[in-house]
Amino acid sequence: MRPPLDELLDTTHVVSLPLVSRFRGIDVREAMLLEGPHGWTEFSPFTEYADPEAAAWLAAAIDFGWNAAPPLLRDSIPVNATVPALAAADVPATLARFAGTRTAKVKVAERGQTLDDDVARVAAVRAALGPEGRIRVDANGAWNVDEAEHAIHALAPYDLEYVEQPCATVEELAEIRQRVRYMGIPIAADESVRKASDPLAVARAGAADVLIAKVQPLGGVRRVLSLEAEVGLPMVVSSGLETSVGISMGLHLAGALPSLDFDCGLGTAALLAADVTDAPLLPRDGALPVRRVVPSPGLLRRHAATQDRTLWWRARLERCWELLEA
């Protein structure tokens, strides 16, 4: 059910938050925050996304603000550190932002970098975490199947928990999964789930061992819970690089999933140089508490987007609202 447009627009704030270091090609994260009857919520599709994709993020924002969250089965969520495609020398300072995490997700296959850069970064993460740390890598679909096979061989000595979206298509994922099966390295699907018209296609095709569940692109907490019931694969709840308000939506999903076998990618408030609350959801002892977040009026003012950008987001919300079922 979609609330009236005026009701949504009434409480919106658009913020523009600097990142500590460049991540997925951006230095600043814009987000729109809204307050519904059940609390604060976030609408923050990346700016380049077209309306049909962004509408799922709005459905999620509405779900979290205008419905009671499903019952929680746990109130603390173990999270991973997220390591952008930085130089190996910068790894220790990045990991230090994610206090107590035993797992790290490392970005690889960044445009303009080489496999040697990836190997050096992953080696630095292994050196910092020690033999018991867990390392997963995320290629964001940048490799073809042969490149993925070569890269996985080069990275395997550092002991990989899984490889996230090594290739772009579901067919390629199925193929690389077969090729590296003998190595015991699972394949996780991210873009193939969150950008697909049918998020379950990847599971049906036998293309992944693990699904990355991002709550906004998948349409909200309740929608992901119903997908989970159908899909039968373990899910790793990860962020869409949200403010702490959006992270709290992901935490409510992670808290409600029937089982949670992996550390979640919800520690990314640590990648923001500023947040919207005085009590940001930053990892402590490797975990985050499941709770709602109320933005601080002072921080909303300090990080308010320009008037132009605010109008852009309001128009975007309106167009996406039109796309949702009345």
Ligand X SMILES: O=C(O)CCC(=O)C1=CC=C[C@@H](O)[C@@H]1C(=O)O
Distance between CA atoms of residues 246 and 239, nearest Å: 8
Q: How does strand 81-83 pair with strand 103-107? A: parallel
Examine residue 265 and tell whether it contacts ligand X (CB under 6 A).
Answer: yes
Examine residue 149 and tell whether it contacts ligand X (CB under 6 A).
Answer: no
CA-closest candidate to residue 34, choices 318, 224, 322: 318
Task: Look at the block and give the residue holding tokens 């005085």.
Answer: 278
Q: Determine contact, residues 265/237, Cβ cutoff 8 Å.
A: yes
Under rule CB under 6 A, how many of the chain's residues touch ligand X? 13
Q: Determine contact, residues 122/95, Cβ cutoff 8 Å.
A: no
Catalytic residue (one of 13, 29, 105, 107) = 107
Quick one: 66 or 268, whose CB is closer to ligand X?
268
CA-closest candidate to residue 44, choices 272, 231, 301: 272
Q: Determine contact, residues 32/309, Cβ cutoff 8 Å.
A: no
Q: Is 164 known as a binding-site position?
A: yes
Q: Determine contact, residues 239/223, Cβ cutoff 8 Å.
A: no
Which segment (14-22, 53-61, 227-235, 236-244) binds ligand X by CB under 6 A? 236-244
Q: Which of 241, 254, 270, 287 binds ligand X (CB under 6 A)?
A: 241
Examine residue 238 and tell whether it contacts ligand X (CB under 6 A).
Answer: yes
Quick one: 142 or 257, whose CB is closer to Mg ion?
142
Examine residue 27 and tell whether it contacts ligand X (CB under 6 A).
Answer: no
Q: How far is the CB of 300 from ligand X (least distance, A)?
A: 22
DSSP 43: E
Q: Is 138 known as a binding-site position?
A: yes
Radius of gyration of the CA atoms of the chain, in A: 19
Quick one: 161 or 175, whose CB is closer to ligand X?
161
Interface with Mg ion in residues 121-160 (CB under 5 A):
138
Residue 103 contacts which entry, Mg ion, ligand X, none (Cβ below 5-8 A, type-dependent): none
For the question of residue 105 being annotated catalytic, the response is no
Give kind and range of the element (H or E) at residue 19: strand 13-23
Which segment (93-101, 129-137, 186-194, 217-225) binds Mg ion by CB under 5 A? 186-194
In a 13 Å sphere around the CA of 150, the CA atoms on its Cβ side amount to 10
Residue ranges of the binding site:
138, 164, 190
Residues of this chain that bind ligand X (CB under 6 A)? 24, 80, 82, 105, 138, 140, 190, 238-241, 265, 268
